[in-house]
Structure 1
Amino acid sequence: MDPVGAEPGAPWNTFVEGDNLDVLTGLPAESFDLIYLDPPYNTGNDFAYRDDFRGERGSGAAGRHEAWTTYLRPRLEAGRRVLATTGAIFVSIDDHEVAHLRLLMDDVFGEAHFIAQVVVNLNAKGRQLGGGFATCHEYVLVYARDAAACVLDASSSHTVVEADFPLTAPDGRRYRRLPLRNTNKKFNPVTAPTLHFPVWGDPASGRVATEPFAGAHEITPIFGDLTPAVWRWSRPRIEERPDDLECRVVRGGAGERVDVFQRDWRHPVGGRRKKLRTIWLAEEIGSTDTAVAELKDLLGPVFESPKPTGLLLRILDTMPDDARVLDYFAGSGTTGHAVALANAADGGRRTCLSVNLPEATRPGSNAALAGYDTVAAITRARLRAVAERLGGGFAELS
């Protein structure tokens, strides 16, 4: 089987029905840049996959966890084989197996290649049924194939908000002030001597220069306790970007002093991204409710707990816009849907291979009543509908 996206003009979405382990075996090594998985959570609740491993190996909870990890291990190992050296894998999970999955992925990918354990808030109200706390979160575990080579950028342009830049320049551009002084005491005149030098600034005009001028104060970098510090910028960079600096009077515990600040622009050349936090809120990425509504808009109410496309769009945004994406627990097809949305929005050339078993839907479920006998039939129908609505094409491999 040729890797998806190997040929110019490949469809955005390709689907394979079959056992994911068999499909992975037929894929070339290092043929994908990003893998997203939403495997069975081992709760026994969802209709989409066999999701209860009790009684298969040993007895009790320990046996159930062991059976689940035994099932998942070869699928993660096969996924690692097809993941590019520069690639990353994201795996959704909840409290039932997160501890076991973390240990399993440490073993398969290597603890040194762990990137993050993200808390994902997909149910803002929390689950109200049952005892105990109203659970409102699950997790996404993120690992690199090779952390040193991984191209994942844990930031996003969508998390940059106007309120972060409260000041307005005369030309209308918004900005915030950042100290030009390096606030990390690990960087000081001993560890970074070339960054400790005087500059000159005038708090009346705001002008900053590396040479004296009329009305200027000589300024050397110091910490709040008045011990010597260093600048974040070199002398040549200050000379290249004087308009991005300003001199101001500041008031601290030691009284007034003159200091230098960077004007950090809301829209710098090349755009701006903001580091992603490890808690993703439903208001940012959508929820299970919005995911159900998205799927209902395409096919009707045929899947009980799909993932929102917003979650996948955030994940896709951490990788290049020509990423080759693989989802071999494709469920309702959210990953492929998100790939099409991302490409339509930014002109990217991402491709996605979705793999799903012909797992029978639950008798009497909305999916079965709508004529979808298997979960794979839902995946296929959604990706076809996405191609009709958004373009990009759809192909099915055998």
Structure 2
Amino acid sequence: MAAESDGRVCNTFAEGDNLDVLPTLPEGSFDLVYLDPPYNTGNDFAYRDDFRGDRGAGLAGRHEAWLAFMRPRLEAGRRVLADTGAIFVSIDDHEVAHLRLLMDEVFGEANLLAQIVANLNPKGRQLGRGFATSHEYLLAYAKDADRCVLDASSPTTVVESDFPLLAADGRRYRRLPLRNTNKKFNPMTAPTLHFAVWASLETGQVRTEPFEGAVEIKPVFGDGSPAVWRWSRPRIDARPDDLECRVVRGATGDRVDVFQRDWLHVSHDGKGRRKKLRTVWLAEEVGSTDTAVAELKSVLGHVFESPKPTGLVRRILDTMPPDCRVIDYFAGSGTTGHAVALANAADGGRRTCLSINSAEPTRAGSNAALAGYPTVSAVTRARLQAVAQRVGGGFREF
């Protein structure tokens, strides 16, 4: 696959505490950070600065200890993140409010890209008191929002039924008004976009200069007040086949208006159709904890109770260039590296991923321990090795 054709290995693994490994990496050497850190649920974790804190200090003390655990790791992650890069962190209700404030401090409040709801347990957790929680969160921040290359859209969310019309050549499209429907944009605020075009009702053709059989059309709102076009004259001249005219009914009676043909399959810039991502990601779109367990089981067996689905990470990867350098320094079961290999195999991308995990022991009697994995890092390593064999992309240790 492409990741191997130029000598690059898709997946690299480093065993060790992330605070030991991250300082050895060059500044700005990664385009995307994805983290699924240990949540503050009262469990024990074998990082060198155990964040359990004083059990007698109550919730406030545990929040404080968890934030003290996360702060240096976020700061170290920011150092290795490129100026054009972004970071996504998974978190649940226990710490989302505190983590957002911490990330505001480390990355800057102005660099918040989104707080995404991920519906990873559509059935809802039935154990315990209260509501059946069915979601977690993703906090997304840019290192520098003005320079970030993240594109908050995806080709996988495009729905064919949204494009109900069929052109003579068989391409599907929908009509979008060429007129700017936002009244903030009008001849006073955007005078260069208020001009006449000429169109033929017989052929549907639209031009910026008069031609035989054409009628003059100026942009107006539904109430007849002056409006502006969304496209400039040069853009209209460059894309005449993407426009058409038709009769519409307005408040002052029938009139001729101009519409953009918004194509389904290939956009005018050749990049293909993408759709802006919403901030709620459903399990049927990105997978669930159940599908994530099944994914891992198909590779290594049932060794983790709540891994993340590769679909969640692949949606994140969709927002970044296909040659982005990814790092996950809470690698856990190795979902991120698996997702990177799958994405490369699907589109020929040249993404690389560094997965870091400490040698924290698996719980005695757990599925992982019974399967012969004494540490979580052993699970990470085994999964990435299996992915290299099944999907491709290669594997090496850092």
Match of 1:43 in 2: 41
Q: Mean Cα displacement is larger for which, 230-239 or 20-29? A: 230-239
How many angstroms apart in 1 are the aligned matches of 2:389 and 2:259?
52
Return closer, same or farther for 1:324/1:309 CA change in 2, 3 Å cut-off.
same
Return closer, same or farther for 1:78/1:8 CA change in 2, 3 Å cut-off.
farther
Q: Mean Cα displacement is larger for which, 209-218 or 360-369? A: 209-218
How big is each residue's C-alpha offset from its partner over 1:263-309, in whole Å with a ceiling of 9 and x where there is no partner?
11112241111111111111111110000000000000000100000
How many angstroms apart in 1 are the aligned matches of 2:181 and 2:46?
51
1:290 aligns with 2:291: yes
Match of 1:162 in 2: 160
Return closer, same or farther for 1:385/1:200 CA change in 2, 3 Å cut-off.
same
1:27 aligns with 2:25: yes
1:195 aligns with 2:193: yes
Alignment RMSD, CA only? 2.0
User: Do the aligned partners of 1:53 and 1:65 also contact (CA within 8 Å) in 2?
Assistant: no
Aligned partner of residue 59 in structure 1, secondary structure: helix
Q: State the 1:125 CA deviation.
A: 1.3
1:18 aligns with 2:16: yes
Residues 298-317 of structure 1: pairs in structure 2 closer than 5 A: 298-317=299-318
Q: Mean Cα displacement is larger for which, 73-82 or 254-263? A: 254-263
How big is each residue's C-alpha offset from its partner over 1:160-211, in whole Å with a ceiling of 9 and x where there is no partner?
1101111001111000000000112221111111111111223343222223
Residues 345-356 of structure 1: pairs in structure 2 closer than 5 A: 345-356=346-357
How many angstroms apart in 2 are the aligned matches of 1:113 and 1:142?
9
Q: State the 1:10 CA deviation.
A: 2.6
How many angstroms apart in 1 are the aligned matches of 2:10 and 2:304?
23
Aligned partner of residue 238 in structure 1, secondary structure: helix
* TM-score, with structure 2 as normaliser: 0.94
Match of 2:137 in 1: 139
Q: State the 1:104 CA deviation.
A: 0.3
Aligned partner of residue 364 in structure 2, secondary structure: coil
Q: State the 1:47 CA deviation.
A: 8.1
How big is each residue's C-alpha offset from its partner over 1:241-279, in whole Å with a ceiling of 9 and x where there is no partner?
222111111113332211110111112241111111111
Residues 244-263 of structure 1: pairs in structure 2 closer than 5 A: 244-263=242-261
How many angstroms apart in 2 are the aligned matches of 1:27 and 1:131?
44
Residues 224-239 of structure 1: pairs in structure 2 closer than 5 A: 224-239=222-237
Match of 1:92 in 2: 90
1:327 aligns with 2:325: no
Return closer, same or farther for 1:328/1:123 CA change in 2, 3 Å cut-off.
same
User: Do the aligned partners of 2:287 and 2:311 also contact (CA within 8 Å) in 1?
Assistant: yes
Residues 348-367 of structure 1: pairs in structure 2 closer than 5 A: 348-367=349-368
How many equivalent pairs are there?
A: 392
How big is each residue's C-alpha offset from its partner over 1:349-385, in whole Å with a ceiling of 9 and x where there is no partner?
1111100011111111111111111111100000000
User: Do the aligned partners of 1:45 and 1:51 also contact (CA within 8 Å) in 2?
Assistant: no
How many angstroms apart in 1 are the aligned matches of 2:242 and 2:48?
58
User: Do the aligned partners of 2:49 and 2:69 also contact (CA within 8 Å) in 1?
Assistant: no
Return closer, same or farther for 1:203/1:45 CA change in 2, 3 Å cut-off.
farther
Q: Mean Cα displacement is larger for which, 134-143 or 45-54? A: 45-54
How big is each residue's C-alpha offset from its partner over 1:336-356, in whole Å with a ceiling of 9 and x where there is no partner?
001110111111111111000
Aligned partner of residue 249 in structure 2, secondary structure: strand
1:213 aligns with 2:211: yes
Segments of 5+ residues of structure 2 without an aligned counterpart are none
Aligned partner of residue 156 in structure 2, secondary structure: coil
Q: Mean Cα displacement is larger for which, 66-75 or 131-140? A: 131-140
Aligned partner of residue 35 in structure 1, secondary structure: strand
User: Do the aligned partners of 1:31 and 1:84 also contact (CA within 8 Å) in 2?
Assistant: yes
Segments of 5+ residues of structure 1 without an aligned counterpart are none
How many angstroms apart in 2 are the aligned matches of 1:20 and 1:251?
63
Aligned partner of residue 27 in structure 2, secondary structure: coil
How big is each residue's C-alpha offset from its partner over 1:204-224, in whole Å with a ceiling of 9 and x where there is no partner?
432222233344322110112
Return closer, same or farther for 1:84/1:316 CA change in 2, 3 Å cut-off.
same
